[in-house]
Chain A
């Protein structure tokens, strides 16, 4: 059975604008893909530990040495909008 998913909810979580046509297509396609993917539930009982990285590493440190950062103008050069050496975005809070 294809999986039923709430496309509007998932698109909102993903901050993704979708047309009605895209939503329709995705609803059908994701339903089928997830039906196939749900096979992962057929195996791997509770006593199998999960693997996040095939070659696990932990506490990876590099020497705490200061090094030059990228120049500010180089970093800002790709920004769609810049003001006073900062990334400029549309308003995020209401102002009285």
Chain B
């Protein structure tokens, strides 16, 4: 049976304004669902039940007064790399296990000011490094569609919480696909906007030239609503773009007749599961039925994007993570002098994947290797952007699978970093090029696991991206729910 916690935020907003429900009731439904499934899913690192009740009561007062923003009263989950004042923010890492931020990230500050209700902080790969959520220091997240499977990563907890109805919507972060890939594997909508559209202030940095705040929702309209609240210039982030705040739901229903859609040839090649290929092909056919003119295009440097990413992101990470030195916050392991203290602290505080990337990045930036690795990777980044520019001369929008596979078993790839990195092969190019991209569910594979189709638009063309995603979503009519919800709790 559909409960309040299974509805979209847009549906709930209507009910709230019609006086048919209250924020307190929606919150209670999310908490009830979490009570039933959270033990099996593990989406949250911390739940802020009491704070949420206070916020819901306040939101109900605002809604009753007739002057509430669109996000008011709708319960939300935040990936635990987004700083929340007074609420522990761990990045899924032992090194920040005790860290309580003294300020809010801008994204949450805007949501909070608009009456959002914080359910809690969601599990993720340590410092957002991973594609399966298995790199969290606090245990894995289980995919609500099949508990033996990963939810994807790194924002696995946010994706799973929305899929399972523990949250109506959630924020994550996307550095190489960490919103879109878990959204794809969990059957929800994942939006990575243009780099710089949402402030990164208070987002604990992984790779600063790639990090983007993104949204998990049950519908494209919800993604537009959430984006409208959090996007726009922030003086606290020098990379935030000079864009005015606007209503991203505007024009979303205008359809895509005449839109030129390019099917990315490289994204249907080797390594793409048959179930993914056929589901995404069916979505492409839908686009044609909706009046788009569909043709094939090529991003010839796709293969090199992965290599470039796994040099650029670790290089930036090795620099960003230098701040965890046992002095100002987080773990400290004592040592005879400061350097020994730092070295021990970092050895004890970071998990295997984070160590791997710090080592990789340190090496790629070190004397004698910088040009061959980091320097070359930055040139490849230019070639990736040129690929897109060429493709967008002929097309308005590109389409591909979000991920080459559906959800895979927990443990299957954890000992093979290269195999794990391949999960991000279709999502990474949008990070390297800064372009907005969205994953929406296209159907289920033979095993009953969700498949995601990814649309990519040129920089700041969110209106076109959301309009196309909305039209495609309506045409596909994906309404399957995770099995988990049908089974009685033990």
- Which residues of chain A come closer than 8 Å to B304, judged between CB atoms? 39-40, 42-43
Q: Does the CB pair A16–B350 fall under 8 Å?
A: yes
Q: Does the CB pair A36–B348 fall under 8 Å?
A: no
| A1 on the B face (CB < 8 A) | no
For B307, give its contact among A40, A70, A79 (CB under 8 Å). A40
For B363, give its contact among A29, A30, A40, A89 (CB under 8 Å). A30
- Complex CA–CA separation, A34 to B315 (angstroms): 13
- Which residues of chain A come closer than 8 Å to B346, judged between CB atoms? 14-17
- Complex CA–CA separation, A40 to B381 (angstroms): 10
CB nearest to B303 among chain A residues: A39
Q: Does the CB pair B239–A16 fall under 8 Å?
A: no
Per-residue CB contact flags for chain B residues 323-338 toward chain A (1 = under 8 Å, else 0) read 0011111111011111
| B99 on the A face (CB < 8 A) | yes
Q: Does the CB pair B195–A90 fall under 8 Å?
A: no
- Which residues of chain A come closer than 8 Å to B337, judged between CB atoms? 90-92
Q: Does the CB pair A80–B327 fall under 8 Å?
A: yes
Q: Does the CB pair B235–A33 fall under 8 Å?
A: no
Within 8 A of A (CB), among B338-394: 338-344, 346-348, 350, 352, 355-356, 358-360, 362-364, 366, 372-373, 375-383, 385
Per-residue CB contact flags for chain A residues 38-62 toward chain B (1 = under 8 Å, else 0) read 1111111000111111110100101
- Complex CA–CA separation, A90 to B238 (angstroms): 35
| A77 on the B face (CB < 8 A) | yes
Q: Does the CB pair A36–B338 fall under 8 Å?
A: no
Q: Does the CB pair B100–A92 fall under 8 Å?
A: no
For B356, give its contact among A29, A40, A52 (CB under 8 Å). A29
- Which residues of chain B come closer than 8 Å to A38, judged between CB atoms? 307, 372-373
| B167 on the A face (CB < 8 A) | no
- Which residues of chain A come closer than 8 Å to B331, judged between CB atoms? 80
B interface SS class: helix
- Which residues of chain A come closer than 8 Å to B378, judged between CB atoms? 50-52
- Complex CA–CA separation, A30 to B382 (angstroms): 25
- Which residues of chain B come closer than 8 Å to A39, judged between CB atoms? 303-304, 307
For B382, give its contact among A13, A44, A55, A57 (CB under 8 Å). A44
CB nearest to B363 among chain A residues: A10
- A48-B379, A49-B379, A77-B100 known; A16-B329 Cβ under 8 A: no
| A66 on the B face (CB < 8 A) | no
| B269 on the A face (CB < 8 A) | no
User: Is the interface on chain B under 10, 10 to 19, 20 to 34, or 35 or more residues?
Assistant: 35 or more
CB nearest to B337 among chain A residues: A90
- Complex CA–CA separation, A75 to B103 (angstroms): 10
| B434 on the A face (CB < 8 A) | yes
Within 8 A of B (CB), among A1-29: 5, 7, 10-11, 13-18, 22, 26, 29
- Complex CA–CA separation, A81 to B327 (angstroms): 8
- Which residues of chain A come closer than 8 Å to B355, judged between CB atoms? 16, 18, 22, 26
CB distance from B155 to the nearest CB of A (A): 21
| B188 on the A face (CB < 8 A) | no
Per-residue CB contact flags for chain A residues 61-96 toward chain B (1 = under 8 Å, else 0) read 011000000110011011111000001011110000
Q: Does the CB pair A53–B338 fall under 8 Å?
A: no
| B241 on the A face (CB < 8 A) | yes
CB distance from B192 to the nearest CB of A (A): 13
| B10 on the A face (CB < 8 A) | no
| B459 on the A face (CB < 8 A) | yes
Q: Does the CB pair B380–A17 fall under 8 Å?
A: no
Q: Does the CB pair A49–B341 fall under 8 Å?
A: no
- Complex CA–CA separation, A90 to B434 (angstroms): 42
CB distance from A42 to the nearest CB of B (A): 8
CB distance from A53 to the nearest CB of B (A): 5
Q: Does the CB pair A17–B348 fall under 8 Å?
A: yes
- Which residues of chain B come closer than 8 Å to A15, judged between CB atoms? 322, 325, 339, 342-343, 346
- Which residues of chain B come closer than 8 Å to A81, judged between CB atoms? 332
Which residues of chain A have a CB within 8 Å of any CB of chain B? 5, 7, 10-11, 13-18, 22, 26, 29-30, 32-34, 36-44, 48-55, 57, 60, 62-63, 70-71, 74-75, 77-81, 87, 89-92
Known pairs A16-B358, A50-B378 / 10 extra A-B pairs, C-beta < 8 Å: A13-B362, A16-B359, A34-B373, A43-B301, A54-B434, A70-B102, A78-B330, A89-B327, A90-B341, A91-B338
7 CB-based A-B contacts, threshold 8 Å: A16-B346, A17-B344, A38-B307, A49-B382, A50-B375, A55-B434, A75-B102
Which residues of chain B have a CB within 8 Å of any CB of chain A? 98-100, 102-103, 194-196, 209, 235, 238-239, 241, 301, 303-304, 306-308, 310-311, 318, 322, 325-332, 334-344, 346-348, 350, 352, 355-356, 358-360, 362-364, 366, 372-373, 375-383, 385, 417-418, 421, 432-435, 459
